[in-house]
Amino acid sequence: LPVVGAYVPQCDEIGSYLPQQCHGSTGYCWCVDSRGQERAGTRTGPGSPSVDCTSGETIYW
């Protein structure tokens, strides 16, 4: 079982990293590459516009 507050990577049904990762405890989200490494400049905080991790564009809600 994961430790409460610990970041757990999100993967699809075949074990590949999802393009957008989020830390449930902090509300921060970011885009990752196929190896799960954070893509520079994609981290957003709680309440901030999201980044479309497939295009790299900022999405304003």
1 versus 40: the higher-pLDDT residue is 40
pLDDT at residue 57 in the model = 57
Which tokens hold the place of 58? 């900022």
Q: Are 43 and 29 in contact (CB under 8 A)?
A: yes
- 13, 57, 21, 35 alpha-carbon torsion, rounded to 10°: 70
For the chain, the structural domain boundaries read 1-61
pLDDT at residue 42 in the model = 93
2-61 confidence digits (pLDDT tens): 577 889 999 999 999 999 999 988 999 999 999 999 999 999 999 888 889 987 555 554
Quote the pTM value: 0.79
pLDDT at residue 2 in the model = 59
Tell the CATH topology of 1-61.
Invariant Chain; Chain I (4.10.800)
46: left (phi over 0), alpha (psi -120 to 50) or beta: beta
pLDDT at residue 59 in the model = 55
d(CA 39, CA 47): 20
